[in-house]
Amino acid sequence: MGVAALLLLAIAVRVHTAGWARADEATTLWFVPDDLSNTSSCDSLGMERVELYRAVLRVNDSYATGASEDVFFPLFSSHPLPGPAPDSDLEADPAVRVGMIFVHGALRNANAYFCEGSSAVASRGGDVKARTLVVAPWYGTEQLSAEEWMGRGNGTSTRWTNNSWIQGGDTRGKPKRFSTSFDIMDQLVRLLLDGAPLVDGAKLYPRLDHVVIQFAFRYSFFAALDTRVRYLLSDAATWMYFSPERPAPRCTLLHDSGVSHACVEFGEPDVEECTGYNNYKYGLGNLSSSESRYVERFADDQGLLDDAVELWADKDVRFVFGQHDTCNAQSNGYDNARSCFQRDAGCYPVSGDVALREMNLTGMTCCDTFPASNNNVLDVNCEAMLTGSNRLQRGLNHMNYLTHLYSVRRRHSLFAGAHSDYAFYQSKAFVEWAFPGELDLPHTKEQGPRVELNR
Ligand SMILES: *[C@@H]1O[C@H](CO)[C@@H](O)[C@H](O)[C@H]1NC(C)=O
Ligand SMILES: *[C@@H]1O[C@H](CO)[C@@H](O)[C@H](O)[C@H]1NC(C)=O
Ligand SMILES: *[C@@H]1O[C@H](CO)[C@@H](O)[C@H](O)[C@H]1NC(C)=O
Ligand SMILES: *[C@@H]1O[C@H](CO)[C@@H](O)[C@H](O)[C@H]1NC(C)=O
Ligand SMILES: *[C@@H]1O[C@H](CO)[C@@H](O)[C@H](O)[C@H]1NC(C)=O
Ligand SMILES: *[C@@H]1O[C@H](CO)[C@@H](O)[C@H](O)[C@H]1NC(C)=O
C-alpha cells in the first residue's frame, strides 16, 4: 500500500535527524501506558513502531509554582522538536511550513490520532507530506517518568485524571496545578509558529507559516487570536454557548432530524431541573469552578470575557459534522435509526428505552460512538440535552446559534460517516481546509460550503 510505504520511509529518514527530544531508538522495551495500548489503528495503517515518534515538550512554569521537578508533556511528532539542552544536532527542515495538531478524544488514544493524521497527510501526495509537521498530543491519565516515555532524560509527565483536559483543566499529580491543557497547547502553538532557539541561539526552529488544530472548541474561545491558526473541528459531544440562550425545545427533538436540521429560535430555557445548564463547560457561567487556572482568569473579569466573545468572530474556526453521527444509546424516548444498531459490536452502556427495546428485538446493540469506539459516551446530561439530542443536531444547532449571535454564517460542512475521526480526516472539507494550497490563501471570513436549510 502506498500509505504504508511512505510512512516506513519517514522512519528511515528520521534516523539521521534524531534530536534529544525524540525517543531513543536503541531502547527496545517501551513502557506502554493503558491509554495507548490499542495499536489496531496504527497497525492497520502500517505504522507499527509508533513509539519511535514519541517526543516531549518541556512544560513552562507559567504560574511560577517554583516546582523543582522538570515537567514534560508527552506527544507524538513526525519531526524532532527542539527544547532545552539538546544533545545532538537538530536540523530545521526548511521544507516544513505547516503544522497539524491532531488531538485525541475521550479515549486519549493519541497513538491512533497520530497514525490517522499522518496517514491523512501522506495520502495527499505531492509535497504535502514534506511540508507538514504532524503532532499528536497526549493528555494522558498516567504520570510517567522521562525514562518510561523516552527511554532517557529527567522529569515527570503531565497527567489528567478525568476529562477536565477537554475544558482546559489543571494538570494533576505532582507538581500540583503546575499547568493546564490550554497553556500547553499555547506553548506548542508558539513553538511551531515562533520557533525556539537552538543550542547556539542563532537558529529558530521550526517557525511554520500556519498551524491547523483539531482540538477542543473551548480552546479556540479562550486562546489568544492568531490568524495563522486555523481550527478544524468535528463531532464534539457538546459545544459551549457564549450566552445563556439555548435552542428552543423544538430544535432538540429526540430523533435524527437530518442534515437539513435548522433552528431559528433561541432563548433562555425554563430550567427548573437543570439550573446549572449555563455553567462551564456548557456555557460561560461559574468559570471560577472550571478546574483550570487558564479559564479562571476570565471568571472575575467581565471585560476580558466580553473581549473573548468579540474576538472569537475573527478566529478561523471551521466545522465538519458526520452526517450519521445521530445515535443516542442512553436517553429515554430517543428514537434511534436502524443504522445505530450494530451486530457483534457490544456497545456499552445502553440504557435508553427505545434503544433497549430495539436491542431486545434484534439482538444488536445501540452504539452512539461507533465506529470510533464501542463505548457509549455521548453526554446525555440535561445541560447537553438542552443543546440537542445527538451530535449532529447539537452541531447544527450550534451553527445556527453562532449565526444568531454574530449575524455571520460560520464555515461548516458534512462528511459521510458517523462518529469517525478517520472519515473526518479523509473528508473533502477537511482536505480542502487543512492542506497547503488552501492555507496559502489570505485569511478570510467568507462563507464556506453551505448546508441547505429547509426553513
Ligand atoms: C481497538 O481499537 C479498534 C478500532 O480503533 C476497535 O475496533 C477495538 O475494539 C479496540 N480494541 C480494544 C481492545 O479496545
Ligand atoms: C514561562 O513562565 C514564566 C513564569 O514562570 C513567564 O515569565 C514566561 O513568560 C513563560 N514563558 C513562556 C514561553 O510562556
Ligand atoms: C538527570 O538527573 C541526574 C541526577 O539528578 C543528573 O546527574 C543528570 O545530569 C540529569 N540529566 C539531565 C539531562 O538533566
Ligand atoms: C475531575 O476530578 C476531580 C477530582 O476528583 C473532580 O473534582 C472534578 O469534578 C472532575 N472533573 C470532571 C470534569 O470530571
Ligand atoms: C458553581 O460550581 C460549583 C462547583 O461545581 C457548585 O458547587 C456551584 O453550585 C456552582 N454555582 C452555580 C451558580 O451553579
Ligand atoms: C429488554 O430486555 C430486558 C431483559 O430481558 C428487560 O428487562 C427489559 O425490560 C427489556 N426492555 C424493553 C424496553 O423491552
| pLDDT tens, residue by residue, 95-122 | 888 899 999 988 899 999 999 999 999 9
CA 192, 50, 41, 237 torsion: positive or negative? negative
* Structure confidence at residue 26 as a pLDDT band (50, 70, 90): low
78 and 162 share one domain: yes
**pLDDT score of 220:** 96
> 143 in a domain, yes or no?
yes
How close is the Cα of 169 to the center of ligand 4, in Å? Answer: 9
Would you state the torsion angle of the CA atoms of residues 366, 369, 374, 378, taken in this order, to the nearest 10 degrees? Answer: -80
How close is the Cα of 64 to the center of ligand 3, in Å? Answer: 22
Lowest mean pLDDT among 83-92, 181-190, 388-397: 83-92
**pLDDT score of 4:** 26
How close is the Cα of 211 to the center of ligand 6, in Å? Answer: 50
- DSSP letters, 338-377, are GGGEESS---B----HHHHHHHHHHSPEE-SSTBT-SB--
CA 319, CA 150: separation in Å to the nearest integer?
35
203 and 291 share one domain: no
Range of the structural domain that residue 131 is part of: 2-215
Q: Is the CB of 195 under 6 A from ligand 2?
A: no
251 and 201 share one domain: no
* Structure confidence at residue 5 as a pLDDT band (50, 70, 90): very low
Q: Is the CB of 286 under 6 A from ligand 5?
A: yes
**pLDDT score of 361:** 95
pLDDT at 444 over 70: no
> 350 in a domain, yes or no?
no
Lowest mean pLDDT among 139-153, 235-249, 383-397: 139-153
CA 379, CA 173: separation in Å to the nearest integer?
26
How close is the Cα of 340 to the center of ligand 6, in Å? Answer: 18
Mean pLDDT, range 415-425, rounded to an integer: 92
* Structure confidence at residue 94 as a pLDDT band (50, 70, 90): confident
CA 86, CA 91: separation in Å to the nearest integer?
11
Mean pLDDT, range 314-333, rounded to an integer: 96
Please identify, by atom number, the ligand 4 atom nearest to the C-alpha of residue 169.
13
How close is the Cα of 286 to the center of ligand 5, in Å? Answer: 6
Supply the residue whose CA is at minimum distance from atom 7 of ligand 3.
154
CA 123, CA 338: separation in Å to the nearest integer?
33
Report yes or no: 171 and 164 within 8 Å, Cβ to Cβ.
no
pLDDT at 302 over 50: yes
205 and 251 share one domain: no
176 and 66 share one domain: yes
pLDDT at 405 over 80: yes
174 and 306 share one domain: no
CA 191, CA 19: separation in Å to the nearest integer?
16
**pLDDT score of 28:** 53
Q: Is the CB of 60 under 6 A from ligand 2?
A: yes
How close is the Cα of 287 to the center of ligand 5, in Å? Answer: 9
156-163 LR contacts (CB < 8 Å, sep 24+): 156/69, 156/70, 156/71, 156/72, 157/71, 157/72, 157/73, 157/74, 158/59, 158/71, 158/72, 158/73, 158/74, 158/184, 163/106
Which ligand is closest in space to the CA of residue 279?
A: 5
103 and 174 share one domain: yes
> 420 in a domain, yes or no?
yes
107 and 198 share one domain: yes
Which ligand is closest in space to the CA of residue 183?
A: 2
> 333 in a domain, yes or no?
no
pLDDT at 71 over 60: yes
274 and 192 share one domain: no
pLDDT at 144 over 90: yes
320 and 182 share one domain: no
How many CB atoms sit inside 10 A of residue 319's CB? 24
Q: Using one digit for the tens of pLDDT, what is the confidence trace for 362-395?
A: 999 999 999 988 999 999 999 999 999 999 999 9
Mean pLDDT, range 251-280, rounded to an integer: 96
> 337 in a domain, yes or no?
no
User: What average pLDDT does the chain have?
Assistant: 85
* Structure confidence at residue 239 as a pLDDT band (50, 70, 90): very high
List, in sequence order, every residue forming a beta bridge with 210; answer none if it has no partner: 98
Report yes or no: 139 and 162 within 8 Å, Cβ to Cβ.
no
Which ligand is closest in space to the CA of residue 194?
A: 2
3-state secondary structure of 135: strand
148 and 250 share one domain: no
Whose grid coordinates read 426553513?
455
Report yes or no: 389 and 334 within 8 Å, Cβ to Cβ.
yes
CA 114, CA 104: separation in Å to the nearest integer?
9
* Structure confidence at residue 290 as a pLDDT band (50, 70, 90): very high
**pLDDT score of 153:** 84
CA 175, CA 159: separation in Å to the nearest integer?
10
What does the angle CA 358 – CA 360 – CA 366 come to, to the nearest 5 degrees? Answer: 50
Report yes or no: 18 and 25 within 8 Å, Cβ to Cβ.
yes
How close is the Cα of 291 to the center of ligand 4, in Å? Answer: 8
Mean pLDDT, range 155-171, rounded to an integer: 95
**pLDDT score of 21:** 47
Which ligand is closest in space to the CA of residue 278?
A: 5
Number of independent structural domains in the chain: 2
171 and 281 share one domain: no
pLDDT at 350 over 80: yes
pLDDT at 442 over 60: no
Which ligand is closest in space to the CA of residue 150?
A: 3
How close is the Cα of 328 to the center of ligand 1, in Å? Answer: 20
Q: Is the CB of 38 under 6 A from ligand 1?
A: yes
> 395 in a domain, yes or no?
yes
Supply the residue whose CA is at minimum distance from atom 13 of ligand 6.
357
CA 112, CA 55: separation in Å to the nearest integer?
15
Q: Using one digit for the tens of pLDDT, what is the confidence trace for 42-68?
A: 999 999 889 989 988 999 999 999 999
Q: Which of 161, 162, 171 to mutate to test the pocket of ligand 4 (most atoms within 8 A of CB)?
A: 162
> 54 in a domain, yes or no?
yes
Report yes or no: 251 and 397 within 8 Å, Cβ to Cβ.
yes
What helix, strand, coil percent values describe the chain, rounded to 5?
30, 15, 55
> 240 in a domain, yes or no?
no
